[in-house]
Amino acid sequence: MLLLPSAAEGQGTAISHALTSASTLCQVEPVGRWFEAFVKRRNRNASASFQELEDKKELSEESEDEELQLEEFPMLKTLDPKDWKNQDHYAVLGLGHVRYKATQRQIKAAPYEMLSDPVKRRAFNSVDPTFDNSVPSKSEAKDNFFEVFSPVFERNSRWSNKKNVPKLGDMNSSFEDVDAFYSFWYNFDSWREFSYLDEEEKEKAECRDERRWIEKQNRATRAQRKKEEMNRIRTLVDNAYSCDPRIKKFKEEEKAKKEAEKKAKAEAKRKEQEAKEKQRQAELEAARLAKEKEEEEVRQQALLAKKEKDIQKKAIKKERQKLRNSCKTWNHFSDNEAERVKMMEEVEKLCDRLELASLQCLNETLTSSTKEVGKAALEKQIEEINEQIRKEKEEAEARMRQASKNAEKSTGGGGNGSKNWSEDDLQLLIKAVNLFPAGTNSRWEVIANYMNIHSSSGVKRTAKDVISKAKSLQKLDPHQKDDINKKAFDKFKKEHGVVPQADNATPSERFEGPCTDFTPWTTEEQKLLEQALKTYPVNTPERWEKIAEAVPGRTKKDCMKRYKELVEMVKAKKAAQEQVLNASRAKK
């Protein structure tokens, strides 16, 4: 038999039951759920059981609910059930003071179907007539932003599907908190819906088609009201964002931060540019010093080379004069005047072509030997030089012939561009091309006209002809170009060289034979001559001697002759240009 414990304190509980006519007193210990109830009663200093306390609390709540229901009971008699949409259901239940916060127990205590159904209750809560849908304007929150907008966001947070809705905060809120707040409200997820305001009830439809039509109309109306609701929330958030003083503060801080970063970046860039400029200046200074050093070394080398060249030139000049004097001492090894003149020409040829060592060796032989031995040595040296000249001439002629063939092939072997280009015409073309450089107005017409004026062949050349021939000459290798120039020089030497004529007159004691240098002028020599002409004007005493000293390897006579050639070239150039200009005017 199981005995239930009564409420008693201490180590045990005495329970007596009249099981028989004779009573028996027993002490038992509470076990199981009775022991748990006993512990709870002891901790709460209660003498009743836990279950009795819970039942008492439930009865108290039900009593309160009944009292609330009875409190509103007189109003229930005045309500029209057909007009249920226009009624305040929380007020009907006596829950007007708690409204959407009412518990399910409070709602169940009232016999009212609308709020007992969770779906219908949400529909009614969405259109709660006591809810304030107003949105503060920007002007209202100009001076008291937080006091105006905080309660608005607080009451609208009831529509959120998400829990833990962020608060508006205050002026000390961090950027992260403010950003999270506006991110939440700009992406607000609302459960508010407007089915309660449906104008038509599908239950009243007489057929399925009518019910579908009613559902379609209701859905469209709900969607429109939902859109308006979201626009209202968006307007609320936009107004708050535009008035929020924290946003302005954050923007100013961000602007200040960007300005500071911009200034720091500009300062870093300036320092970097200064460092680069400093490095560039250092490099330029180092390059300048290196260049000056290099130029000084070149200048010293040039001075040394010039000094050595002058020494060698003087030595050669001395040996040449010694050779002439030695030959003169022996009466040029002949008693016949014509033979003596011929020997003088050969001696001058030796003076022009022999190197210093060869001249010294020959002079040593002439001064230390007999007349016959000296004559034999001289004639042997003359024979070797003549043989060398002959070979050079043959090679030059062979290269010239090859160059002419190549030029004819490059122009197609026919047509106006390849007709009768003699060696004289080629030399005249080269001269004209150098005379009228690139940049000359109507250059090729001027060159063609110049050739037509000065050519002895009688062939008229057009601009197209001279362009074609000039291009073919440019394709020649350097040796072929040297051959053409050599050919022109030999022709010039032949036409302008001074050769003594044999006669019966006794040669003058001071006659030394022709010693003019017919070597073509190099570009460097030409530049030195032009600079010397500018440095020593016409009224300079001993002008040509000074000019000759400024051009190493050239004599006074060479410089004067070259100057005359340049003057003639300039005159010819001007004449050709004027002729072309006159021809073009005549055509117009």
CATH assignment of the domain containing 581: 1.10.10.60
Residue 362 lies in a domain: no
- pLDDT score, position 427: 81
Whether residues 152 and 236 fall in one domain: yes
pLDDT of residue 340 exceeding 90: no
Q: Of all helices (H) and strands (E), which one includes residue 14?
A: strand 13-17
| For residues 109-125, average pLDDT | 68
pLDDT digits (tens, 9 = 90+) for 3-21: 334 333 343 433 344 344 4
Whether residues 106 and 156 fall in one domain: no
Relative to beta strand 24-28, strand 13-17 is: antiparallel
| For residues 460-484, average pLDDT | 74
Residue 569 lies in a domain: yes
Whether residues 434 and 476 fall in one domain: yes
User: Which amino acid, 248?
Assistant: K
In terms of phi and psi (left: phi > 0; alpha: psi -120 to 50; beta: otherwise), the region of 435 is: alpha
Residue 228 lies in a domain: yes
The backbone torsions φ and ψ at residue 16, rounded to the nearest 5 degrees and listed phi first, read -125, 140
Whole-number Å distance between alpha carbons of 114 and 121:
6
CB contact set of 408 (below 8 Å; sequence gap of 6+): 418, 421
Contacts 24+ apart (CB under 8 A), 511-518: 511/344, 512/324, 512/348, 513/324, 513/344, 513/345, 513/347, 513/348, 514/348, 515/348, 515/351, 515/352, 516/555, 516/557, 516/558, 516/561, 517/352, 517/553, 517/554, 517/555, 517/558, 518/489, 518/492, 518/493
Computed from CA positions of residues 9, 12, 13, 14, in that sequence, does the dihedral angle turn out positive or negative? negative
* Final residue before a domain boundary, out of 483, 503, 522: 483
First to last CA, the chain: 149
| For residues 115-140, average pLDDT | 80
Report whether 386 contacts 417 (CB < 8 A).
no
* DSSP assigned state of 102: -
To the question of pTM greater than 0.85 for the whole model, the response is no
Residue 543 lies in a domain: yes
Q: Exposed, middle or buried, 473 (CB in 10 Å: 0-12/13-18/19+)?
A: buried
pLDDT digits (tens, 9 = 90+) for 187-225: 999 888 888 787 767 667 678 888 888 888 888 888 898
Q: How many domains does the chain have?
A: 4
| For residues 420-443, average pLDDT | 78
* Final residue before a domain boundary, out of 72, 95, 115: 115
Contacts 24+ apart (CB under 8 A), 384-387: 385/349, 385/350, 385/353, 385/354, 386/349
Tokens of 451: 């050739």
Worst-scoring range by mean pLDDT, 10-24, 125-139, 317-331, 362-376? 10-24
Residue 373 lies in a domain: no
Sole residue written with tokens 């400093």? 278
Owning domain of residue 453 = 424-483
pLDDT digits (tens, 9 = 90+) for 402-425: 776 776 665 554 444 445 677 778
Residue 170 lies in a domain: yes
Whether residues 177 and 225 fall in one domain: yes
CB contact set of 127 (below 8 Å; sequence gap of 6+): 194, 196, 197
pLDDT above 70 coverage of the chain, percent: 72
Between the alpha carbon of residue 549 and those of residues 159, 318, 524, 544, the distances in Å are 109, 18, 15, 8
Whole-number Å distance between alpha carbons of 112 and 99:
14
- pLDDT score, position 513: 36
**What is the average pLDDT value for the chain, to the nearest integer?**
76
pLDDT digits (tens, 9 = 90+) for 259-317: 999 999 999 999 999 999 999 999 999 999 999 999 999 999 989 988 888 888 888 88
* Final residue before a domain boundary, out of 216, 243, 270: 243
pLDDT digits (tens, 9 = 90+) for 45-84: 655 555 555 555 555 555 555 444 444 445 555 555 555 5
* DSSP assigned state of 25: E
Going by C-alpha positions, the residue among 133, 117, 38, 45 that lies closest to residue 84 is 117
User: For the residues of 252-287, what is the DSSP string, one character each?
Assistant: HHHHHHHHHHHHHHHHHHHHHHHHHHHHHHHHHHHH
Sole residue written with tokens 């340049």? 566
Whether residues 157 and 89 fall in one domain: no
| For residues 558-564, average pLDDT | 88
Residue 489 lies in a domain: no
Whether residues 459 and 548 fall in one domain: no
Whole-number Å distance between alpha carbons of 384 and 379:
9
Report whether 429 contacts 448 (CB < 8 A).
no
How long a stretch of residues is the chain? 588
User: Which amino acid, 521?
Assistant: W
pLDDT band at 510 (very low <50, low <70, confident <90, very high): very low
Whole-number Å distance between alpha carbons of 75 and 540:
138
Geometric angle at alpha carbon 188, from 186 and 194, rounded to 5°: 130
Whole-number Å distance between alpha carbons of 323 and 326:
5
- pLDDT score, position 184: 92
Higher pLDDT, 253 or 142: 253
CB contact set of 365 (below 8 Å; sequence gap of 6+): 373, 374, 377
> How many alpha carbons lie under 13 Å from residue 137 in its C-beta half-sphere?
2
Higher pLDDT, 34 or 250: 250
pLDDT digits (tens, 9 = 90+) for 379-410: 888 898 889 888 888 888 888 777 767 766 65
User: Which amino acid, 244?
Assistant: D
| For residues 493-502, average pLDDT | 48
Say how many C-beta atoms besides its own lie within 10 A of residue 39's C-beta.
12
CB contact set of 477 (below 8 Å; sequence gap of 6+): none
CB contact set of 561 (below 8 Å; sequence gap of 6+): 516
- pLDDT score, position 258: 93
- pLDDT score, position 119: 80
In terms of phi and psi (left: phi > 0; alpha: psi -120 to 50; beta: otherwise), the region of 327 is: alpha
- pLDDT score, position 260: 93
Going by C-alpha positions, the residue among 128, 107, 133, 132 that lies closest to residue 194 is 128
Residue 207 lies in a domain: yes
Q: What is the largest CA-CA distance in the chain?
A: 201
